[in-house]
């Protein structure tokens, strides 16, 4: 069912989403905030944007134009409604297309930064497939694989341009290896923990095209405290410094 609701705790933005099929998660917000911390200015493209939570979040912090690409028409329709309601037509350019076809739209070296919250699960993990096709496309490498993302990012990025991803920790070796093969060198990594007692399931990474071999590890990002509430760092991400944030 389509819902129209406030975007996080940002009073000035609303978002359309389908809570049964196209609902954004905290992962997108963690990635968007990571971009804000490690990026200045330039041309940005968000791949597999969904209902545009990342471009919307960037408007609260960076206030610059973002290109957003989504393949599913139903999702694009929701994103278009969000853009129009918030009067962001001049700040967010939405394109309905297959990420793998972007070479037909753009010349090489067109962007300073590529962002992607990609499908985490490969097709060997079919037991995790959702019964809803839309969810399966978002979660599994049905229409967009890790290789696809890295390949098109390498094509789109300018020299020294940045690629920002959030990905499963258990696939970190695979990701780092594939990035290096395309001269996308890891520059910053931040490990995410749901709480300080559990193993990590996700991490954030900034890679730079022809960026050299030096890499730094940011302090860990912990989502929940010992009482199961968002940590102060997460609350601050969710807008306006409120401590009554609903769980994503």
Answer with the residue of higher pLDDT: 23 or 95: 95
Q: Is residue 220 a part of any domain in this protein? A: yes
End-to-end CA separation in angstroms for the chain: 17
* Per-residue pLDDT tens over the stretch 147-179: 999 999 999 999 999 999 999 999 999 999 999
Q: Who's near 82: CB < 8 A, 6+ residues apart?
A: 14, 15, 16, 51, 52, 56, 88
Q: Is residue 133 a part of any domain in this protein? A: yes
Q: Is residue 95 a part of any domain in this protein? A: yes
Q: Is residue 187 a part of any domain in this protein? A: yes
Span of 84-93, 117-126, 131-140, 231-240 with lowest mean pLDDT: 131-140
* Per-residue pLDDT tens over the stretch 216-234: 999 999 999 999 999 999 9
Q: How far apart are CA 36 and CA 61, in angstroms?
A: 7
* Per-residue pLDDT tens over the stretch 101-113: 999 999 999 999 9
3-state SS of the chain is CEEEEEECCEEEEEEEEECCCCCCCHHHHHHHHHHHHHCCCCCEEEECCCCCHHHHHHHHHCCCCEEEEECCHHHHHHHHHHHHHCCCCCCEEEEECCHHHHHHCCCCCCEEEEEECCCCECCCCHHHCCCCHHHHHHHECCCCCHHHHHHHHHHHEEEEEEEEEEEEHHHHHHHHHHHHHCCEEEEEEEEEECCCCCCCCEEEEEEEECCCCCCEECCCEECECCCCCECHHHHHHCCCCCCCCCCC
What residue has token string 């900034």? 206
Q: What is the CATH number of the domain that holds 40?
A: 3.40.50.150
Q: Is residue 242 a part of any domain in this protein? A: no
* Per-residue pLDDT tens over the stretch 25-71: 999 999 999 999 999 889 999 999 999 999 999 999 988 899 999 99
Nearest to 78 by CA among 129, 121, 134, 119: 134
Structural domain that includes position 57: 21-237
Q: Is residue 148 a part of any domain in this protein? A: yes
In total, how many domains does the chain have?
Answer: 1
Mean predicted lDDT score pLDDT of the chain? 90
Nearest to 10 by CA among 65, 61, 85: 61
Q: Is residue 243 a part of any domain in this protein? A: no
C-alpha pair distances (Å), 23 with each of 78, 82, 191: 11, 13, 24
Q: Is residue 11 a part of any domain in this protein? A: no
What residue has token string 């985490």? 120
Pairing of strands 202-209, 157-168: antiparallel
């Amino acid at each position: 069912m389509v819902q129209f609701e406030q975007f996080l705790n940002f009073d000035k933005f609303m978002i359309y989403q389908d809570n049964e099929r196209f609902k954004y998660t905290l992962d997108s917000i963690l990635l968007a905030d990571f971009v804000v911390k490690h990026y200045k200015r330039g041309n940005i493209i968000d791949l597999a944007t969904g209902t545009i939570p990342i471009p919307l979040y960037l408007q609260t912090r960076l206030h610059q134009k973002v290109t957003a690409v989504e393949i599913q028409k139903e999702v694009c329709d929701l994103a278009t409604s969000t853009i129009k309601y918030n009067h962001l037509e001049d700040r967010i350019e939405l394109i309905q297309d297959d990420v793998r076809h972007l070479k037909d739209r753009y010349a090489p070296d067109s962007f300073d930064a590529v962002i992607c919250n990609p499908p985490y699960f490969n097709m060997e993990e079919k037991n995790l497939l959702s019964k809803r096709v839309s969810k399966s496309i978002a979660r599994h490498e049905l229409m967009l694989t890790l290789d696809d993302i890295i390949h098109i990012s390498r094509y789109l990025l300018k020299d020294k341009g940045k690629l920002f991803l959030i990905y499963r920790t258990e696939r970190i070796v695979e990701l780092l290896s594939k990035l290096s093969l395309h001269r996308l060198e890891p520059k910053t990594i931040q490990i995410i923990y749901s709480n300080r007692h559990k193993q990590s399931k996700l991490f954030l990474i900034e890679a730079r095209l022809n960026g050299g071999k030096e890499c730094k590890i940011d302090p860990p990002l912990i989502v929940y405290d010992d009482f199961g509430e968002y940590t102060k760092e997460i609350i601050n991400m969710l807008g306006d410094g409120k401590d009554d944030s609903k769980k994503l």
